[in-house]
């Protein structure tokens, strides 16, 4: 890869488009109650459906690649940015995603610690659980879109959901099964 391709990226987005990418991911950062992964549906809407910077397969592969790699869950944001516009895209998405949420988290943690016994604080904390579950379900729905019509994929998703709801077993087993199924070409 030459220096120009590294600095401009595959789509060659201009400053205004990079700014839009940064601002959108900055807004999503403030909605990421259950982590960045809960905002995948809107990331998909923005970069695939509206801007056409990635297609469904590229988007899903970006998320899957980063989730398979060791490290923080938020790495998929960097891969999406990289696949859109190389290094500038990666910087736009990661900075946009991390700056507001980090600032807000630091301020909220300090305030929450000082007010941890207040009834409003306890109610707020209890109310976040259903919101996070709903956002994670929406993320799962978006990520299964490319293979939703395939019986093996549907069985794998339903089996994984049932296993996670009924047991306290590690999600590594269904992830490994999914990797084998995909690797053998049974789904896709």
Q: What is the per-residue pLDDT across 118-149, written as a single tens digit (0 to 9) for each?
A: 998 888 888 887 888 788 778 878 878 888 88
Residue 164: per-residue pLDDT? 81
Residue 164 lies in a domain: no
Residue 127 lies in a domain: no
Residue 40 lies in a domain: yes
Look at residue 157 and tell me whether its pLDDT is greater than 60: yes
Counts of helices then strands in the chain (DSSP H, E): 8, 0
Residue 40 near residue 142 (C-beta atoms within 8 A): yes
Higher-pLDDT residue of 3 and 119 is 119
Residue 21 near residue 95 (C-beta atoms within 8 A): no
DSSP 129: H
Residue 123 lies in a domain: no
Residue 107 lies in a domain: yes
pLDDT band at 188 (very low <50, low <70, confident <90, very high): low
Longest CA–CA span in the chain (Å) reads 58
Residue 66 lies in a domain: yes
Look at residue 33 and tell me whether its pLDDT is greater than 80: no
Structural domain span for residue 15: 3-118
Determine the Cα–Cα distance for residues 136 and 37; give it in Å rounded to an integer: 7
Look at residue 117 and tell me whether its pLDDT is greater than 60: yes
Q: What is the pLDDT of residues 69-100, one digit of tens each?
A: 888 888 999 999 999 999 999 999 999 999 98
DSSP 185: T
**Count of the separate structural domains present in the chain:** 1
Determine the Cα–Cα distance for residues 171 and 84; give it in Å rounded to an integer: 30
Q: Which of 150, 151, 153, 143 is nearest to 178 (CA)?
A: 153
Residue 154 lies in a domain: no
């Amino acid at each position: 890869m030459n220096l120009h391709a590294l600095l401009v990226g595959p789509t060659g987005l201009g400053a205004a488009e990079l700014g839009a990418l940064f601002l959108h991911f900055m807004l999503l950062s403030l909605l990421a109650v259950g982590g960045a992964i809960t905002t995948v549906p809107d990331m998909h809407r923005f970069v695939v459906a509206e801007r056409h910077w990635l297609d469904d397969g590229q988007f899903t592969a970006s998320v899957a690649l980063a989730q398979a790699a060791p490290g923080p869950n938020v790495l998929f944001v960097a891969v999406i940015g990289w696949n859109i516009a190389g290094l500038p895209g990666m910087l736009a998405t990661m900075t946009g995603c991390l700056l507001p949420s980090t600032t807000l988290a630091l301020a909220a943690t300090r305030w929450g610690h000082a007010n941890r016994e207040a009834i409003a604080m306890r109610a707020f904390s209890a109310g976040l659980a259903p919101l996070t579950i709903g956002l994670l379900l929406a993320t799962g729905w978006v990520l299964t879109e490319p293979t939703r019509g395939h019986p093996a994929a549907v069985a794998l998703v339903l089996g994984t959901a049932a296993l996670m709801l009924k047991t306290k077993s590690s999600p590594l087993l269904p992830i490994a099964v999914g990797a084998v199924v995909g690797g053998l070409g049974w789904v896709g």
